[in-house]
Every structure is written in structure tokens, then in C-alpha cells.
Structure 1
Amino acid sequence: MYTPEIYKDEDPESVRAFLKENSFGILINQTHGKLCATHIPIELEVNADGKEILQGHISKLNPQAEGFAENDQVLAVFSGAHGYISSSWYDHENVPTWNYIAVHVYGRIRIVDYDTSVEQLKKLVDKYEAGSENPVRVEDLSVKTMREARGIFGFAIEIDEIQATKKLSQNRDDHNYKNIISELEKTENPQSVALAKEMSKCRK
């Protein structure tokens, strides 16, 4: 991912927090000479060796999985808040741009066994049911319902490289920076408001 130095996020804690908060990603690989992509939850976890990995699952009917055996190299893409930045928000002439936060994770994928897949499902469901009034637990599902878990491939991705971009108008002075935040908030667009919030965190 092309990222000018000023926009690189090289803080491991920041990247880790981003991946945990924006875990619905795009898994990309090459299958039979063709690029394939699937939009799925991909969770940052720590394996038995204490090493950070990405894990998730895809349907066994998804032809993308056929490519994992011939080439285990994959790319997982995660996106965060983003929005249009009008040059009318500056106190000088300049070009419009787009602010955004994104992380690319490169690694090697392997399919895990059924029991591990179920353990991954338990963690995933527990994470997203935590705020539910009547939380669902995988352990409480019937044998009949759990047969559907036979239709997925659980996977683990060993991370080789992480590239993180946080393009938040870092090249602007305080006056223009604060004005961009104000204008983003005025749009009342959820993405733009979220972007303004991220910018506020970066420069008090």
C-alpha cells in the first residue's frame, strides 16, 4: 500500500486497536490465476505460541478456498473512517482530497481443523453478542443447527507484514486542521463525523 511517510501509522498499539475495532475485512488471494476477494469478519487473536495471527472462516462452497493450497499468500484489507475534504475548508487555495484510515495485513493462510473452527466461532459470537439483551452462545446451539458449521473452513493467517495508513490532514497547520474537523462535523454524515472524531484524537 502506497503511504507517504507523514501518513504512516507505525504505532503497534494503534494498529492493534484499529484491527480489533474494524474487523470486518476483505480477504484477497489468487485462485487459479484470478484474484478473489471475500468480505468477512477477520479477527486479530494470539495463538498458542503467543504470536498474533488473524483468524476467520469462509464457506466451503466459496471457490476462493481452492487457491489456499496452491498459494498460501493472502492480503487482508481493513478500512476505517473516511471522508471527502473540500479545499474550500482551507484558508488558502489547494486541491480537495480524501482522508481515511486503512490497514493491509500480508500473511500466509492455512485451513484449521473442525474443532479449532468451532472454537473460533465461539470467540466471534461471544464478542458480538456481548452487548445483547439475550446473548446467543455457540455452546447452546442444537446439534442440528451446529451441522451448519461443517459447511465452513476455519483459517489462521500467520502475519508477515502490516502496512497502516492514517491520512488525517497531518500536513495542515492547527487552524486549518481544526476547521476541517468542524466542517466534517457539520456534514452530519456518519463517516465524516467518525473521521472528525479520529482527527480530534490525533491532535488536541
Structure 2
Amino acid sequence: MYIPKYFKVTDVEEIWDFVQKNSFGTIVTTIQGKPIATHLPLRLIQKGDDYYLTGHMAYGNPQWRTFETCEDVLVMFQGPNAYISSSWYGHEEVPTWNYQAVHVYGKAIILERDELIEELTIMLEKYEENRENPVLWDKLSPQLLDSELKGIVGFKIKVGEIQAAYKLSQNRNERDYINIINKLRNEGNPNSKQMAGLMEKRFLRGDKNDSDTEKIR
């Protein structure tokens, strides 16, 4: 991924926090030179000094069969994104787009049945824990579970290289930066509001020049 120096993120803990909060990723591999992709919820785990992404896909999906032949797979995670109008700057400029993106490269390995069951059990707990009537692994019938297990393939990806870009107008002066936040907040678009919140959080954290919080409204 091409990352200009202003937007490059190198803090591993910050990147993993982003992955945890934006865990619906896109896995990219190739079949005979043609890129293919699958969009899936993924889980980040740490074992010793190594990190893994785990998940599962339909048995009928041909992508899992490429794991053995691909030296590395690419997994992409994205956060909110928003159009930035150049009319929000105090000088003539072209418009752009703000976004957050993380790319993870690693070797994919197929999970054994017991590993897949453990993975599914934990995933259900993660997404069902706050539900009024949570559907957990041990509440489902053995017949249903056995049938479903035959229809999916579990995998884990040992993380090798990570790349992260947060393009949040860091290269703009303070006045323009604050104005962008205010304009995004008033866009009436959920993505724009999320982007405004991210930019404001970084501003108040001191990632930009000395702040004047009263200007952010």
C-alpha cells in the first residue's frame, strides 16, 4: 500500500486496536494470476510473540483452496472514510478523501476440526454476549452444529507484515484542520460524522499543533 509519510502509522498497539474495532475484513488471494476476495469477520489473537487472524468461509468458496499455493494472503481492514472539499481550506487546493486502512500480509493455514470449533465458540461469545437471548455454541443442537461444520472451512493467518495508513488531514494547518472537522460534522452523513470524531480525538490528544478546543463546535 502506498503511504505518504504524513499518514503512515507504525504504533503496533494502535494498529491492532483498529483491527479489533474494524474486524470485518477482506481477504485477497489469486487463482492463476487473477485476484479473488472474500469479505469476512475475523478475530485477532496473540500466541507468544506471534499474531494470528482467524476466521472461516464456506466450503463451496474456492478461495480457501488457494491458501496452500499462495505464499502470502492479503487482508484489508477499513475504517470510516469521507470526502474532503477543497472549499474548506483557506487557500486554493484540490479536494481529497480521508480514510483509515490497514493491510496485513501472512501465510494462511487450514484449521483442524477441534480448532474450528474453538474458534466458532469464541466468535459466538464475542458477538452474542450483549444480546438479550444469546445464541452460544453449547445452546445449539449437535445435529445442527455437525451439519454446519461440514459446510465451512476454518483458517488462521500468521501475521507477517502490517501496513497502516490514517489519512486524517494531518498535513493541513490548524485552522483548516479545525474547519474540516466542523464541516464534516455538519454533513449529515454517518461516515463524515465518524471521521470528524476521529479527527477531533487526535487533535485533542495533541497530534496536531497546540489546540484551541473552543474552535471545534
Fold similarity call, TM over 0.5:
yes
Query: What pairs up with 1:12-161 in 2 under 5 angstroms?
Result: 12-47=12-47, 49-146=48-145, 147-161=147-161
Does structure 2 conserve the Cα–Cα contact (< 8 Å) formed by 1:31 and 1:66?
Answer: no
Distance between the aligned counterparts of 2:136 and 2:183, measured in 1? Answer: 43
- Give 5+ residue unaligned stretches, structure 2: 205-217
Give the count of matched residue pairs. Answer: 203
Partners of 1:7 and 1:58 in 2: how far apart? 33
Q: Would you say the 8 A contact 2:6–2:170 is kept in 1? A: yes
2:51–2:159 contact (8 Å) kept in structure 1? yes
1:164: how far off? 0.2
String of CA shifts for 1:138-197, please: whole Å, max 9, x gaps.
121101210212211110101110000000000111111011000000012001100111
> Counterpart in 2 of 1:8?
8
The 4+ residue runs of structure 1 with deviation greater than 4 A are none
Deviates more, 1:26-35 or 1:169-178: 26-35
Q: CA RMSD in A?
A: 1.1
**Aligned residue type for 2:35:** L
Whether the aligned pair in 2 keeps the contact of 1:72 and 1:110 (CA below 8 Å) is no
**SS of the residue aligned with 2:44?**
strand
TM-score calculated relative to the size of structure 2 = 0.91
After superposition, give the CA deviation of every residue in 1:103-144 in whole Å (9 maximum; x if it has no partner): 000000000101101111111111111221111111211012
- SS for the counterpart of 2:67 is helix
- How much has 1:72 moved relative to structure 2? 4.0
Structure 1: tracts of 5 or more residues without a match: none
Report the secondary structure of 1:131's partner residue. coil
Cα pair 1:31 1:68 within 8 Å, conserved = no
Q: Give how far 1:50 is off.
A: 4.8
Return the alpha-carbon distance in structure 1 between the equivalents of residues 162 and 84 of structure 2.
Answer: 26
Q: Which secondary structure state, in structure 1, belongs to the residue aligned with residue 172 of structure 2?
A: coil
The answer on whether the counterparts of 2:68 and 2:108 sit within 8 Å (CA) in structure 1 is no
- Secondary structure of 2:93 counterpart: coil
AA matched with 2:34: K
Identity level (%): 44
| Normalised TM-score (structure 1) | 0.96
User: What letter matches 1:15 in structure 2?
Assistant: I
Distance 1:159 1:190 in 2: 32
CA distance, structure 2, for counterparts of residue 32 and residue 92 of structure 1: 49
Compare 66-75 and 20-29 and name the one that shifted more: 66-75
Kindly state the Cα deviation for residue 33 of structure 1 after the two structures are TM-superposed.
Answer: 3.0
Aligned residue identity for 2:121: K
Letter aligned with residue 113 of structure 1: E
